[in-house]
Amino acid sequence: MSRAMNLSLPEEEVRRLCLAQGVSISAIEPLQSGGTRLVCTASTGAEEMRLRLRGHIIEGNVIRHRFYRPPSSR
């Protein structure tokens, strides 16, 4: 099972929901086509988030940024 999923939610909302469920994030990025790409650290966490966010999962291909560097947290 893939640890990655594309969601039709803003990044901050995805972070908040993962934190509330105790699911650790391996990578997260905004999608160029709108929404957020989430990669969980563990497949069990990914399955938990898929169950909880099943109504927000984007099916099919999405447009991602060619190269995404997260903003500095300084």
In a domain, 72, yes or no: no
In a domain, 67, yes or no: no
Total number of domains in the chain? 1
Report pTM. Answer: 0.85
Owning domain of residue 29:
4-56
Per-residue pLDDT tens over the stretch 35-73: 999 999 999 999 999 999 999 999 998 988 776 667 776
In a domain, 66, yes or no: no
In a domain, 49, yes or no: yes
In a domain, 63, yes or no: no
- Whether the pLDDT of residue 26 is over 70: the answer is yes
Answer whether 5's CB lies under 8 Å from 25's CB.
no
In a domain, 41, yes or no: yes
In a domain, 19, yes or no: yes
Q: Is 18 helix (H, G, I), strand (E, B) or coil?
A: helix
Rounded Cα gap, residues 13 and 8, in angstroms: 10
